[in-house]
Amino acid sequence: MDIFILAGQSNMAGRGGVSRGIWDHYVPPECRPNRQILRLGAKLEWEEAHEPLHADIDAGKACGIGPGMAFANEVLRARGSSVVVGLVPCAVGGTRISQWARGTLLYSGLLSRAQESLKKGGTIRAVLWFQGESNTVRRGDAEAYRGNMEKFVTDIRSDLGVPNLLVIQVALASGEGRYIEVVRKAQLEMNLPNVRCVDGKGLNLKTDHLHLTTASEVQLGIKLANSFLAS
């Protein structure tokens, strides 16, 4: 099994198709289930993956379409029928990078789920990371983003025992505050080995000007897959 950790905040968890707290249940063809795509649920059991991937992980919030299923289907399309893709959803909406630091509840949960995902065999191929919107409100948070993200990458690689683990992050498409470009610059200029960046700028947003539309989540999933396949 090729295992991928999905982490970050709401645009990774998925708000595509959600309006006034209700998901419209529309699943694009690129996001439909496939018996070769599995998901590690909240109870730490593998099951056939389906949208919304984060429904029992980003608990208490209305989850919809995110990039994960489109990513997995594109990887399968490119790599053939012998591959099984295991998705480990960990994203939680509204979280700042400091809430993902080593020792926090979110970091410990991600680490525990990642370790659990390996118990039946397989290899963690990458962490897919989309976070930072909540770090655009205060200048200090935005300016500290690069250092905090680099430490997160170093720590998760160390704790998983994979020193060169691929991390694919998304440069922000939107933000909650005025310092979006400060965070984007940190993301685009990060220079750690085997850290790749997919640019979310230009992806269409919902009327809240923060969350990606369903179509944009599909586009992002395919972009992430192409980045992984080129790595």
pLDDT in tens, 72-92: 999 999 998 789 999 999 999
- The pLDDT, as a whole number, for residue 81 is 77
CA–centroid distance for 72 within its chain: 12
**Where are any strands of DSSP class E within the chain?**
2-8, 18-19, 22-23, 37-40, 46-48, 85-89, 123-130, 166-171, 195-199
Which residues does 98 contact at the CB level (< 8 Å), separation at least 6? 104, 141, 148
Strands in 37-40's sheet, in edge-to-edge order, are 46-48, 37-40, 85-89, 2-8, 123-130, 166-171, 195-199
SS3 content of the chain, % helix, strand, coil (to 5): 35, 20, 45
* CATH number corresponding to 2-230: 3.40.50.1110
Look at residue 82 in the predicted model and tell me its pLDDT: 85
Q: Give the residues of the chain that fall short of pLDDT 70.
A: none
User: What is the Cα–Cα distance from 54 to 230, expressed in whole angstroms?
Assistant: 26
In the chain, domain spans: 2-230
- Write down the pTM of the prediction: 0.97
| pLDDT value of residue 192 | 95
- Active-site residues, by number, are 10, 208, 211
- CA dist., res. 63 & res. 76, Å (int): 24
Token couple for 172: 């922000």
Q: Taking each helix axis as running N to C, give the angle between helix 145-160 and helix 105-117, from 0 to 180 degrees, rounded to the nearest 10.
A: 40
The pLDDT, as a whole number, for residue 154 is 98
Which pLDDT score is estimated for 80? 83
pLDDT at 200: 98
Per the structure block, which two tokens stand in for 28? 């694009």
